């Protein structure tokens, strides 16, 4: 009997939970299999080991419980590098949710520069 390729792909939902450690410049969290797809780590949901997580400069691998820890700055983007065979949660626009924007002072102001509709810069440029 021949099976479809999709029969053998074990699709899980990865969700990145991040919590800032107040006394230092690190962020820690867990990447886990969100079995009920409620975007929360519930009892019985397991962390996923070996998933790569990055802060745009460093890349770490989650431990056996799916935990990670990374250095963080005032403007940081923390993201998961999706491993093969996994699926990511999507928002109402069907865009994958695999990152966390860390802007404790709020989002940077957008400044439109002249010369074209596609040219823009943030106030930090």
Q: What is the pLDDT of residues 61-89, one digit of tens each?
A: 999 999 999 988 888 889 999 888 888 88
Instruction: Examine the pLDDT at 3 and tell me if it is beyond 60.
Output: no
Is 96 contained in some domain?
yes
Instruction: Examine the pLDDT at 53 and tell me if it is beyond 90.
Output: yes
Is 2 contained in some domain?
no
Domain count, the chain: 1
Is 34 contained in some domain?
yes
Is 1 contained in some domain?
no
* Dihedral-angle region of residue 64 (phi above 0 means left; psi in -120 to 50 means alpha; beta otherwise): alpha
Contacts of 106 (CB under 8 A, 6+ apart): none
Residue 52 CA to residue 66 CA, distance in Å, equals 10
What pLDDT, on the 0 to 100 scale, is given for residue 10?
43
Instruction: Examine the pLDDT at 8 and tell me if it is beyond 50.
Output: no
What pLDDT, on the 0 to 100 scale, is given for residue 50?
94
What pLDDT, on the 0 to 100 scale, is given for residue 58?
95
What pLDDT, on the 0 to 100 scale, is given for residue 115?
57
Q: Could you tell me the CATH number of the domain that includes residue 38?
A: 2.60.40
* Dihedral-angle region of residue 56 (phi above 0 means left; psi in -120 to 50 means alpha; beta otherwise): left
Is 58 contained in some domain?
yes
Is 27 contained in some domain?
yes
What pLDDT, on the 0 to 100 scale, is given for residue 97?
84
Is 56 contained in some domain?
yes
Is 4 contained in some domain?
no
Q: Which residue range forms the structural domain that includes residue 94?
A: 9-122
């Amino acid at each position: 009997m021949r099976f479809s390729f999709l029969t053998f792909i074990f699709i899980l939902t990865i969700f990145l939970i991040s919590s800032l450690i107040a006394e230092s410049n690190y962020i820690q969290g867990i990447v886990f299999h969100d079995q009920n797809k409620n975007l929360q780590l519930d009892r019985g949901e397991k962390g996923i080991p070996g998933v790569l997580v990055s802060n745009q400069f460093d890349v770490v691998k989650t431990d056996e419980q799916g935990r990670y820890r990374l250095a963080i700055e005032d403007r940081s983007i923390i993201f998961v590098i999706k491993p093969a065979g996994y699926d990511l949660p999507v928002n109402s626009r069907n865009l994958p949710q695999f990152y966390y924007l860390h802007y404790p002072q709020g989002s940077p102001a957008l400044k439109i520069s002249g010369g074209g509709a596609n040219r823009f810069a943030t106030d930090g440029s």
